[in-house]
Amino acid sequence: MLPPLKNGEVLRGRYKIRERIGQGGMGSIYLADDTRLKGRQCALKEVEYDRALPENIRDEARDQFLREATVLARLDHPNLPKVSDYFSNGPRDYLVMDYVPGNDLRTLLLEARRKKTFLKEADVLTWADQVASALAFLHSQEPPIVHRDIKPSNIKLMPQGLIKLVDFGLVKILAPEEVTITIIQGQGTALYTPLEQYGGSDVHTDIRSDIYSFGATLYHLLTNEPPVDARKRFLDPESLMPLRQFNTAVSPRTERAILWAMSLHPDERPETIDEFRKALLGYTEAPTLPISVRRARPQPIWDYFANTPEATLAWSAAVLFLVSLLATLVR
């Protein structure tokens, strides 16, 4: 790996690096000032190729990057950062995107967990509606575009409440005449990755892969617990706990929709993001318990009375009975 860019370094005679704000296996993300447009900040997504690969493979990867960058630069949606430029600098390639201020949802999730509380379901569904809008837009392109790395840290909440789905690092364009076209080869993040996305081939990845990752992301946001990854679930189908086992405030409707999206087999998931969104927001009904999940243990009878007036009366009666019984025995 080459050394990171230095603060103050200027790329393409235009983008002045402020700082590195992210780092991954294939490069870094930098915050930069656009010196041509005063006051504009942008994010530079760096792509660095494995130098151990044969030169012809690296050349093919760079051609692939340029083709996909051209497609991404044409996209315009309020819940996606705008790709405004792309260029090469030595052995590295760069995507230039709008800088998105605000916290990502992983930060909000960790804060809620630290406070021993949960994110409000109404808030999560409002955010989900916006993410679904972005995904429906990507999936409607010709050919469809699959994000492939949906997770809480790739969803940012801007100060005015607008959601942005960020990081095009693993985007796949579903061109039917080609086996696979990806900006950066990768598998996504294990906790949110569907079973078909593992392995070296992307042949079986389609828009339903995003639906799984989206559902797994919502599972985490509403429970404070990461979902069991798909490989473990394949070996132990009942290892996934229902959402309401962790957070009883989650509505049964929301739980059903999310578990539907997280079905292991793509054919058992919603066919489109819109179908999932309608079930999530209550416009249609999701199938009931569509996948194998660990069923809740039978609730102990005393739990039904806990923290209720009936509980106080029941315990008082029990105490009086025991006192009477002891008094009888003593006599």
As a whole number of angstroms, the distance between CA 49 and CA 65 comes to 11
- In this structure, the number of other CB atoms found within 10 A of the CB of residue 115 comes to 8
Q: How far apart are CA 330 and CA 290, in angstroms?
A: 59
Contact, 279 vs 286, CB < 8 A?
Answer: yes
- Starting at the edge strand that comes first in sequence, how are the strands of the sheet with 163-165 ordered? 103-104, 155-157, 163-165
Nearest C-alpha neighbor of 76 from the set 47, 98, 103: 98
Distance CA 242, CA 188 (A): 23
Chain-centroid distance, C-alpha 32? 26
Phi, psi of 20 (to 5 degrees): -85, 125
Residue 67, SS3 per DSSP: helix
Contact status, residue 168 vs residue 95, Cβ threshold 8 Å: yes
Q: Supply the residues annotated as catalytic.
A: 149
Q: How far apart are CA 317 and CA 133, in angstroms?
A: 57
d(CA 123, CA 52): 46
**Rounded CA gap, 197 and 187, in Å?**
6
Say how far apart CA 105 and CA 154 lie, in whole Å: 8
Q: Which residue has the tokens 């106080």?
A: 312
